[in-house]
Structure 1
């Protein structure tokens, strides 16, 4: 395996699940709900009108858009699909529990979502104030930036205790209270697991303590919890990923006839069909991306994935078609008119004459910033050689791109993708980041999935073979 992207996926998963829990109750599908209020500084607009997106929380399907007036006021009726809904304002999203035939009111400033309490009025105030309080205090400092190991461990334990205290603070129904206690335990274990994995990436000699190992010695085959608790799903998926990686590496040392694709190992090691399909929906793309033989891996995917997620199947088919066409020495997909940090715009053809080590990143990608010290060191080591480090941001907001460059003091040529469905990003089937690509001075592909800066040995094995 060339690149282990488990931590990148875990981070991406942790950011998503930090605001998603499941609590199912019975409901009527015929009643309506009235939702009104005032939300200011909403960033998403349609024809100059700001709007909120209302989705079914459990099905993750959009129900409707609620349009706001110039002052942010609104009043609308929702056709109920259940009890739980996700509200999105373009900056943040959060969960609300809306009872049948109820009138609910909410008021907040979207630009101050994390710092100013949100006003909610309705028949389920305790439940919704609990959800809002939890969402506003969600923490994502999974790597313990600027903390010692002892300080980060203390931080994780304090957050766990605060989460338990929050459950007791609000008068929740007994069933929800029990459910949330289980959920916050899994949240704590997931954060601990991510942090330990981060420490092992920083230092290959790092070993978790016996206490850490004991805490993470849980049942990883509880299908009920896998379906209901997002943090448990993350733990199970990461555990299974580690087992597959370990087996894959051991097989790579044996005769070729004993080699197996990760899709085949997934089928052998994850016995529950539901968990296996969900696991492949999370990791399948990267299994394809990392493989030496995309075609045979895709055929194994077709053999071992029995899920019904049509959009995932389309992503995999598209990745198969694109990756099989990205052969070493063939012309690279091109980009045109990317905004440049040095002013003006750049196209790939403008950069011909030098080798390019391209780093695809975004402001929200924490793993991109984990790589930054290694990238800066690489930049120093490559000075005077015929190779340029090019940063390509897929952020949609130009101001975020600018402030992020300044915050992290990004070096080299920094570019911003100028449109959705960009041919360069699509051409390389970029569905997860960070992603690294090497292109030769003639604009031809050297490696469409190059090693990360932190993977020095693998990266320099490629670089030493180039005429730099």
Structure 2
């Protein structure tokens, strides 16, 4: 009896001490630019440094089976991972999709995905949506038939994948039907576009709050997110939504994964331009369980707090159109009105006459007008020519790295034009100052007795 009890005790102890089941992914990806890949998916964002020959091997702890993404500097591709996957892959990053090969447990499903991507990428979405309606529907049917044939020929080893993929082929069609109807006017340049009476009906019965399918299907994700943005008057292209409208609807969702993604797409709401950013931050934080997104939100929150009036301004030291460089330190002693803009930006160009008028009105007073362009460095000649031809006044500077310029990122700028006002000590007066065409700018400048 004691012997039996002892054996049972060993079994119980063993069940508590065995390590968590790991998903194994290994292989070789040659000719990457920096020798680094990322694996991204639900609650997973892992950077992997490849060995000199491009090989790697990783054990992953997955929260769920589903579609994940591997990214190199130049490319990305979807892979299906389950908690018991033992997958080995090989590819050449210079021609990644056509060279992608899989072996091991899960290889059949992933080879299917690679072949499917070859079919669906024959014509990029933007080109697909430029076709007239009849051509579009014909091409879409060709794509769906090809994917269907591939599905029927494949001898899947994962029953869960096979079942969901059968439904996912329908999501592929529905996504394109929805997006063509919405975006043909954008990509095709057709104003007031409407589909014909014979256009296939969009399936309104799709469950838009299914966590399992959101984890499995990129196409389902695009449908869900687009429909959500419609419901909160958001932008289905950029993902920008109004937190005030969105938060109650996000909270009402059952799917935690959809909640996470919607908030991940809205981290820019934690921005000095949002007067309710503090409330939005805490609301977002209470909804999500993704640690990476939580960190991004917190980074944005801390950066936004640093932009409150009276705090020291982030610094810049940029190329001056007249030669040399100009830094914030060079301009201390005067108020500084900064215009972040670009030559390719229509709204920026519309503000130029108003800015010139304000510059003339405050000529000789204790204020400098500084325009910082986020044009690409390769377009420096174009920028300089524009400054000369338009006779732009003030101090004309060119940022070092477009949107990724440190000054631009430190100010949380994701749209131009953006205007900033600093005091003579280089401290922030207003990180989102009124634009030149707004009468409130003159009221602000006059209140400071410049």
TM-score range, shorter chain: 0.5 to 0.7
CA, structure 1 residues 241+339, in 2 after alignment: closer, same or farther (shift >3 Å)? farther
Contact 2:24 2:58 in 1 (8 A): yes
Contact 1:337 1:418 in 2 (8 A): no
Q: Deviations over 1:136-188 (max 9, x none)?
A: 7544579xxxxxxxxx6536875675455334335433543541331342255
Q: Quick check: 306-315 or 158-167, which moved more?
A: 158-167
Q: What is the aligned partner in structure 1 of residue 12 from structure 2?
A: none
| Alpha-carbon distance, 1:354 to partner | 6.9
Alignment equivalent of 1:403, drawn from 378, 381, 385: 378
Structure 2 length normalisation: TM-score? 0.61
Alignment equivalent of 2:39, drawn from 39, 55, 63: 55
Cα distance in 2 for partners of 1:310, 1:33 equals 23
1:151-190 equivalences under 5 Å are: 154=131, 162-170=139-147, 171-173=149-151, 175=162, 176=165, 178-190=167-179
Could you tell me which runs of 5 or more consecutive residues in structure 1 were left unpaired when the two chains were aligned: 1-27, 45-50, 143-151, 245-260, 362-367, 394-400
Cα distance in 2 for partners of 1:429, 1:265 equals 21
Cα distance in 1 for partners of 2:94, 2:38 equals 17
The 3-state SS of whatever aligns with 1:242 is: coil
Alignment equivalent of 1:308, drawn from 278, 289, 305: 289
CA, structure 1 residues 343+33, in 2 after alignment: closer, same or farther (shift >3 Å)? same
Q: What is the aligned partner in structure 2 of residue 374 from structure 1?
A: 347
Q: Quick check: 442-451 or 234-243, which moved more?
A: 442-451
The 3-state SS of whatever aligns with 2:229 is: helix
* Residue 410 of structure 2 is aligned to residue 437 of structure 1: no
Cα distance in 1 for partners of 2:420, 2:325 equals 21
| Alpha-carbon distance, 1:231 to partner | 0.7
* Residue 248 of structure 2 is aligned to residue 267 of structure 1: yes
Cα distance in 2 for partners of 1:310, 1:196 equals 38
Contact 1:339 1:418 in 2 (8 A): no
Cα distance in 2 for partners of 1:98, 1:331 equals 47
Cα distance in 1 for partners of 2:226, 2:233 equals 11
Alignment equivalent of 1:237, drawn from 228, 243, 267: 228
Q: What is the aligned partner in structure 2 of residue 43 from structure 1?
A: 33
CA, structure 1 residues 63+133, in 2 after alignment: closer, same or farther (shift >3 Å)? farther
Contact 1:186 1:232 in 2 (8 A): yes
Q: Deviations over 1:401-437 (max 9, x none)?
A: 3235567887552211599894x4564345x445723
Q: Deviations over 1:247-289 (max 9, x none)?
A: xxxxxxxxxxxxxx94487326862254556434433642654
Contact 2:38 2:72 in 1 (8 A): no
1:384-423 equivalences under 5 Å are: 385-386=358-359, 387-392=369-374, 401-403=376-378, 411=387, 412-416=396-400, 422=406
CA, structure 1 residues 357+56, in 2 after alignment: closer, same or farther (shift >3 Å)? closer
Structure 1 length normalisation: TM-score? 0.59
Cα distance in 1 for partners of 2:247, 2:354 equals 39
The 3-state SS of whatever aligns with 2:50 is: strand
The 3-state SS of whatever aligns with 1:118 is: helix
Cα distance in 2 for partners of 1:210, 1:416 equals 45
1:83-122 equivalences under 5 Å are: 86-96=69-79, 104-109=89-94, 118-122=98-102
| Alpha-carbon distance, 1:312 to partner | 3.2
- Aligned length, in residue pairs: 370
Q: Deviations over 1:310-347 (max 9, x none)?
A: 3433444444444345345x355131434556664332
Cα distance in 1 for partners of 2:226, 2:126 equals 16
User: RMSD over aligned Cα, in angstroms?
Assistant: 5.0
Q: Deviations over 1:12-31 (max 9, x none)?
A: xxxxxxxxxxxxxxxx9667
Cα distance in 1 for partners of 2:284, 2:87 equals 46
Cα distance in 2 for partners of 1:84, 1:297 equals 30
The 3-state SS of whatever aligns with 2:224 is: helix
Contact 1:35 1:105 in 2 (8 A): yes
Q: Deviations over 1:346-399 (max 9, x none)?
A: 3223356575343278xxxxxx95xx1222232244336424432247xxxxxx
Q: Larger RCO: Structure 1 or Structure 2 (Cα < 8 Å, ≥ 6 residues apart)?
A: 1
Could you tell me which runs of 5 or more consecutive residues in structure 2 were left unpaired when the two chains were aligned: 1-19, 153-161, 236-241, 360-368, 388-395
Contact 1:339 1:415 in 2 (8 A): yes
Cα distance in 1 for partners of 2:208, 2:194 equals 25
